Structure 1
Amino acid sequence: MSASADPPKPRGRSTACRAALLLATACLFLWLGTALWFQLSATWNTAGSAAAALAGLTVAVLGWRRPRRGWLALVLVAAGASLWWMSIKPSNERDWAADVAHGVTGEVVGSDVILHNVRHFAWTSEASAIPRWETRRYRLDELRSVDLFSSVWGNPAIAHTLIGFGFADGAYVVFSAEIRRERGEMFSEIGGFFKEFELVMIAADADDIIRLRTDFRGEQVSRFALKLTPEQARALFLSYLARANELAAQPEFYQTVTTNCTTVIFQLARLVEPGIPLDWRILLSGYLPGYLYEHAIIATDRPLEEIKRQAILAPGATLAR
């Protein structure tokens, strides 16, 4: 018979292979397009993301017609993207926004700690302030209190967490692990997954860093006294100092889930008390007070809801203990 046979239809295994290739291609190029959006300048980010989308479509069409060539193209793109991604390194030398222009550093001198670049801005609005960076000295043997501040601005599941240390002479300093924005840059949770920001440790006067949130940003800030022994309080303070010096010497990227304000606190707390368990409320930091309550790290003499209600700071509230 001279009639030519129809080409065989793709079998189940071939169809599954093509479907897997399409899924892998979509995931890779979605990631690549988003990474280019956040890594390229505003002049080029749209073009870069569009180019990634076009390249992804090309690989998908090629892969559907010729799966082996499609997989080869995908592997080559993934290898190139990985090399590019690994080449992006954090830096401490950028044109930083004024409020994160300096990270705190310090040293221990006998029983004293000297902190450099303690922020003490006089805020006049949410976006403007008279800048002041100061060198301050604290007596470790006079450390009397440790507080956790939880600041909620939108989604109640997400909060920025800060730690304040009070001393017998009335001195008070607040540590905050924050994103280090460049001048004119805005925070983005998604950008935090794509090396958009560095991490910086800020030490600040409470009248600066807390009042900025309560009085000018309109955030709901709560203050919880932590039940720590003097040895634990001292160790926690020194762990913040060590972490600040590490970031000054070796910059790191902020990462929305794994390296943020709350996970830094948890990592430092584990240096003080290795047995503290991991918990989902470490990530959903708005629920962190419940975690602290369960482990008796804050007061437990009243119901949790009452403690949370009384912890809320009103604008203009007295902050130093």
Structure 2
Amino acid sequence: MAITSTEAPSSKWHFLAVAARLVFRLVVIAFVGWFALAAFYQAPPGWKWPIIASAVFVGLIAILAVRRRPLLASVLLLITMLAVSFWWKSIEPSNDREWAADVAHGITATISGDQITLHNVRNFQWRTTEDFDPVWQTEQYDLSSLQSVDLLNSVWSNPAIAHTLVSFGFADGRHIVFSAEIRKERGEAFSEIGGFFKEFELVLIAAEESDIVRLRTNVRRETVSLYPLRLSPRVARALFLSYLDKGNALAAQPEFYQTITANCTTIVFKLARLIDPGIPLDWRIIVSGYLPDYLYDRHLIRNDLPLDEIRKQAEISSRAQAAPTSSDYSRVIRSTSDGG
């Protein structure tokens, strides 16, 4: 039987209505799922589950109502989204909380020409992750004597995910390491998912290598690799100053850590882009365990050998663990990693 001219438009509108309801329901499910996670990490402990249950209830009402009362369902969803948006924007980062001891202070700097004074340089003496002597000190550096920049990658479980640190070496033999980290409160533990939901502030730590790198090689027993970077003196200087600017900026205006967009590796990338806006974004910047591959392809680390050999030579954990505690840590970890 032939379809009449009135049946075809009717069938078309029916299909569009069904598709619209499907899209609406998917939006509701996605929104409720996101809000449930946000409430899990941000709602007060006593209110967490009642708020999540209420969100699920409102979502079910919207999903059921959209077939017969689409306008009511749409208004309900819009009002809920606006209320949640207002709540979400009201959650602001802070520098005033009960911080864990190792992130109690972020780095700040006073700059007078080439004379740099760093405040709150961490120099903890670690015996275990829970047993340590907390030391925060003020150090002075002569920027004109900056000689080297090294990137360190620290892997603890998944080889695709690494913590990235940058170490600056000076003519007097000292090294200062910068590390963008989550600023945990006392009793908090790191959560990748929580990092999407304003669970942690961002802090820039500056520390001695015998503190922040040794913690990873000798105490946590992570696999740490050191890659000397091929940077011109101008770029090395600019990168160092960009870290100081970031530390001062965070002290003045706190920010949230974000698992993808504001983490230890993306901060390095953003600072590097301030120096060279043409640096291309690459998936290996996000999947930070593969950052050495990116640097190898960009000729920012030595590439006169196959990458696997470069990686093997860059590993420092075994050397650090074999050396006596009293030895010069910075010298030990560079004993065979000074290539080209």
TM-score class, shorter-chain normalisation, is over 0.9
Match of 1:102 in 2: 105
Q: 3-state SS of the aligned residue for 2:203? A: strand
Contact 1:21 1:70 in 2 (8 A): no
- CA distances 1:197-254 after superposition (whole Å, capped 9, x unpaired): 1111000011111111111112111000001111111111101000110011011111
- 1:253-296 deviation per Cα after TM superposition (whole angstroms, max 9, x unaligned): 11111111111101111222232211111111110001101111
Identify which of 173, 196, 199 aligns with 2:199. Answer: 196
1:319: which partner in 2? 330
For residues 170 and 44 of structure 1, what CA distance do their matches in structure 2 show?
Answer: 54
Other-structure match for 2:298:
295
Which shifted more, 51-60 or 32-41? Answer: 51-60
- Alignment equivalent of 2:28, drawn from 25, 29, 50: 25
CA distance in 1, matches of 2:143, 2:63: 62
The one-letter code sitting in structure 1 at the alignment partner of 2:272 is: A
- For 1:166 and 1:150, the matched residues in 2 are separated by 17
Paired position in structure 1 for 2:208: 205
From 136, 141, 158, the equivalent of 2:144 is 141
Does residue 60 (structure 1) correspond to residue 63 (structure 2)? The answer is: yes
Give the aligned partner of residue 4 of structure 2. Answer: none
State the match for 1:123 in structure 2.
126
The match for 1:177 is: 180
What CA distance in whole angstroms lies between the structure 1 residues aligned with 2:182 and 2:134?
18
Q: 1:39 aligns with which of 38, 42, 57?
A: 42
For the aligned residues, what is the CA RMSD? 1.7
C-alpha displacement of 1:300: 1.0
Which residue matches 1:256?
Answer: 259
Residue 56 of structure 1: CA displacement? Answer: 1.6
Q: TM-score, normalised by structure 2?
A: 0.89
> Which amino acid in structure 2 is aligned with residue 319 of structure 1?
S
What amino acid maps onto 2:85 in structure 1? Answer: S
Q: Are 2:54 and 1:51 aligned?
A: yes
8 Å contact 1:17–1:67 — kept in the other structure? Answer: no
1:286 to 286, 289, 299: 289
1:5 alignment partner in structure 2: none
Moved over 4 A (4+): none
Distance 1:130 1:41, change over 3 A: farther
> Post-superposition shift, 1:60?
1.6
What letter is aligned with 1:61?
A: L
Q: Could you list the per-position Cα deviations for residues 102-157 of structure 1 after superposition, in whole angstroms to 9, with x for gaps in the alignment?
A: 00000112321100000011112123311010000011111111000001112111
Deviates more, 1:35-44 or 1:306-315: 35-44
Q: CA deviation at 1:47?
A: 2.8
The amino acid across from 2:65 in the alignment is L
Code of the aligned partner of 2:166 = I
Unpaired runs of at least 5, structure 1: 1-7
Inter-partner Cα distance in structure 2 for 1:158 and 1:223: 16
* Length-normalised TM-score, structure 1: 0.94
Matching residue within 156, 162, 168 for 1:159:
162
- The equivalences for 1:229-240 within 5 A come to 229-240=232-243
Decide whether the 8 Å contact of 1:21 with 1:67 is kept in 2: no
Shift of 1:27: 0.9
Deviations 1:60-111 (A, max 9, x none): 2222332221111001111111111111111111111111110000011232
Letter in 2 for 1:19: L
| Deviation sequence 1:5-35 (CA, Å, 0-9, x none) | xxx9993232222212211110111111110
**Number of the residue aligned with 1:89:** 92
* CA offsets 1:145-187 (integer angstroms, 9 cap, x no match): 1000001112111111000011111111100011111111111
Aligned equivalents of 1:211, 1:15: Cα separation in 2: 60
Residue of structure 2 in register with 1:242 after alignment: 245
- Equivalent position of 1:112 in the other structure: 115
Match in the other structure for 2:5: none
Q: Distance in 2 between matches of 1:91 and 1:107?
A: 22
Distance 1:64 1:36 in 2: 28
Between 1:50-59 and 1:114-123, the stretch displaced more is 50-59
Measure the CA separation in 2 of the matches of 1:144 and 1:43.
Answer: 54
Letter in 2 for 1:231: R
How many aligned positions are there? 314
Native 8 Å contact 1:293 1:300 kept in 2:
yes
1:73 aligns with 2:76: yes
Matched residue SS, 1:149: strand
